[in-house]
Amino acid sequence: MLPELHSILNLLEGGFSKLKVLVVGDIMLDRYIHGEVERISPEAPVPVIRHAQRYERAGGAANVAMNLAGLGCQAILAGFWGDDTEKTELDVILQRAGVDTVGVVTSSLPTISKTRIVGRMQQLLRLDIESRELPPSGEMTRLIERVTGLVDKVHAVILSDYAKGALSRAVCGAAIRAARAKGIPVFADPKSPDFSKYSGATSVCPNLGELSLATGVPAHQSEALLDAGQRQVAEHDLSFLTVTMSEKGISVLWPDRRFHSPARAREVFDVSGAGDTVIATLAASLAGGLQIETAVDLANLAAGIVVGKMGTVPIAQHELIAALTPSSGVTSGEKILDRDRIAKRVAEWRASGETIVFTNGCFDLLHVGHITLLEDCRRFGTKLVLGLNADASVCRLKGPARPIVGERERARVMASLASVDAVVLFEEDTPLELIRELRPNVLVKGGDYTIETVVGHEDVLAAGGRVEIVPTVEGFSTTNIVKKLTATQENAK
């Protein structure tokens, strides 16, 4: 990958934003309910979950589109969703990411959803809501019309097949024919064991299990399986086959040769959505002009990042940039960062396996309550980012007499603390936008909050993170200190 590093960084830093990629497939909403398991039910031998957190994410083809948006591409989504609450929740997630849903047909069938109930880190139950029926023929016709109408407006097409009914042979055939007529590459993530459904695509991207089903060769016989995969290329008029091999990496198969990209060693928390990340990164990279081998290396790198997160979480552009470029390092004078630099610094830390903790506040007059909060924050991760209200923000929140200490001086004081790794000022009343930009692993707040009342909790939980509430030190606050000083001055008169 190194010879093309300049080209890769150009794509990541602006080139992807010029690309439009159409994703066609099975659209889903993924729900997660996390809780604590402390006892077994007296009614039946099942664990009792004490509900603590709930969040939603885009799943299936929608997650592929989210990965494209995370890379900076203009993602267009096509498929089906119902006229229901799940559709509304999913639409909010997609709109927030900038995914265009112009190709989505509202169906008479419900939006597909998967609800996972998790006790601590163990999934205990999954509840799927979907129809056993296929979409009516009229709805399929509308989907084909929308897909073929969008193909000539994009630079690549992805067929994300989860075997839920959206990608019929007719839809796949129409999309592939339209794309080939315009010279547009098509990438298919298969669920059908018969790859003829995707004949004429640029590449089909199975995992080892899917390739085993398609060829009849056992997955553990890797050499024989890859040989059989090479025969699939010519048989189904593909340019090449892209095989994801879990911890072994990714192999690209042509009829007469192979290329293998080994996986980088990385702690794996959850492989959910890794295939979506691979096909999104591969399609965008090839549409952006990278060589196949380089594009596969980049897709492999992206997959290695997302498997280090819990749940279905898309790749982010800055995470790849951080993984590709050497760390700038941090000295004692470099803790106070602007919004652009903090995003890059956090990406570097995340790529190095650090756990990012975020907390925020005015920190007008530093006192023992502040110190205790920051020390508590360090228990939850390895890097602590402090969001500091700028002067204008403090004034709006606390009144015209505040802050007592200016933002530059407050930032210098906070940066001098060993427990703080970075300080970033924000002008808004809340740090919501900053939290969305940084996507910390842990969000910490002190006081009488609940998880549901902490600003940014939904975004952090949806990204696989957690929220921690720590108690305040009774009697210590900047407001109380100001009152005491004022009372002392009055008594002195």
Q: Cβ neighbours of residue 19 under 8 Å, at least 6 residues apart?
A: 73, 74, 155, 156, 284, 287, 288
Say if CB 61 and CB 36 are below 8 A apart: no
Say if CB 314 and CB 94 are below 8 A apart: no
Q: In what order do the strands lie in the sheet with 422-426?
A: 422-426, 383-389, 356-361, 442-446, 466-470
Query: Rounded to whole angstroms, how far apart are CA atoms 281 and 102?
Result: 22
Q: Which residue among 30, 91, 189, 276 is the active-site one? A: 276
Query: Rounded to whole angstroms, how far apart are CA atoms 191 and 193?
Result: 6
Query: Rounded to whole angstroms, how far apart are CA atoms 157 and 175?
Result: 8
Instruction: Indicate the burial class of 297 (C-beta count within 10 angstroms; 0-12, 13-18, 19 or more).
Output: buried
Is position 276 annotated as part of the catalytic site? yes
At 130, phi and psi to the nearest 5?
A: -165, 160
Question: Which residue, 470, 266, 257, is CA-closest to 369?
Answer: 470
* Torsion angle defined by CA atoms of residues 400, 401, 404 and 407, in that order, rounded to the nearest 10 degrees: 10
Say if CB 120 and CB 50 are below 8 A apart: no
Query: Rounded to whole angstroms, how far apart are CA atoms 298 and 291?
Result: 11
**Count of Cβ atoms closer than 10 Å to residue 493 Cβ:** 4
SS3 label, residue 200: coil
**Count of Cβ atoms closer than 10 Å to residue 39 Cβ:** 9
Residues in the chain: 493
User: Can you say how many angstroms the Cα of residue 175 is from the centroid of all Cα atoms in its chain?
Assistant: 27
Beta bridge partners of 25: 160
Q: Cβ neighbours of residue 470 under 8 Å, at least 6 residues apart?
A: 372, 373, 376, 377, 444, 445, 446
Matching residue, tokens 């040989």: 227
**Count of Cβ atoms closer than 10 Å to residue 70 Cβ:** 25
Query: Rounded to whole angstroms, how far apart are CA atoms 441 and 438?
Result: 9
Active site residues: 276
